[in-house]
Amino acid sequence: GSGTIFFSYCNLHCVYCQNYEISQLAEGEEITEEQLADIMIELQNKGVHNINFVSPTHFLPQIIKSVYLATQNGLNLPLVYNTGGYDNPEVIKLLSEIIDIYMPDMKYSDNIFAQKYSSAKNYWEINKEVVKQMYHQVGVLKTKNGVAYEGLLIRHLVLPNNIAGSKKIIDFISEEIDKNVYLNIMAQYRPCHKSKFIPELSRMITYQEYIEVIRYAQVKGLKNLDVQQISEFLLVNF
């Protein structure tokens, strides 16, 4: 499995965040760079396939130092950069030859919704540049014996009422990145945190909403789709 390390806080403030206790209430404990390096080595010793940094953007200087220390002590696993996709593209450039696997979200193709629901100004333009830079560095996802060791895996969470602008995101991936890129189309949206009180986000997605996104991705020629096998009866239908 993946050796996942969560970092408190997040540079996005999604009203529907399922991990808001960590991302916005800052649950967690303070550790040193040396302790973080030790955690990586401990995870490697347990047999994990990679070291997976979740929401690492705002701790990058400390993480890089910890990676250096851990490498000095024998760390040799792929490093995963697991992000909401709202990063400085210039910073991503600096991660070349350090990060092996990028797992960015592509949350919105509409800046108005990104600002309204995630407090992310100019998300769409920034997100596109970030994904382009990640792809430039590592290319499509590559695996050995069923385990990924390098490449780009894009995640997209389908939101109710087409708030995510899914088709525009798929257009971008198909036309400006690579039809062979792995795209994880997620259906697990649930109203939580503040979204329970926002009418347009206060329900799960419908089966029709999810299937429409998958079919569009297929029509656009995307070849590596990671989709959820979901019963129609598990989703709300209107």
Q: For the chain, first and last CA: distance in Å?
A: 38
User: Out of 95-99, 131-135, 208-212, 226-230, which region has the weakest mean confidence (pLDDT)?
Assistant: 226-230
Question: Would you kindly state where each structural domain of the chain is located, as residue ranges?
Answer: 2-234
- pTM (two decimals): 0.92
Each residue's pLDDT tens digit, 118-144: 999 999 999 999 999 999 999 999 999
CATH class of 2-234: alpha beta
**Per-residue pLDDT, 238:** 36
pLDDT at residue 191 in the model = 87
Asked if pLDDT for residue 192 goes beyond 60, the answer is: yes
Summarize pLDDT for 59-97 with one digit per residue, the tens. Answer: 999 999 999 999 999 999 999 999 999 999 999 999 999
Decide: 108 and 125 in contact? Cβ < 8 Å.
no
Q: What is the pLDDT of residue 229?
A: 76
How confident is residue 233, by pLDDT bands cut at 50, 70 and 90? very low
Per-residue pLDDT averaged across 31-44, rounded?
97
- Largest alpha-carbon pair distance within the chain? 57
**Under 8 Å CB-to-CB from 14, ≥6 apart: which residues?**
20, 23, 84, 107, 117, 118, 193
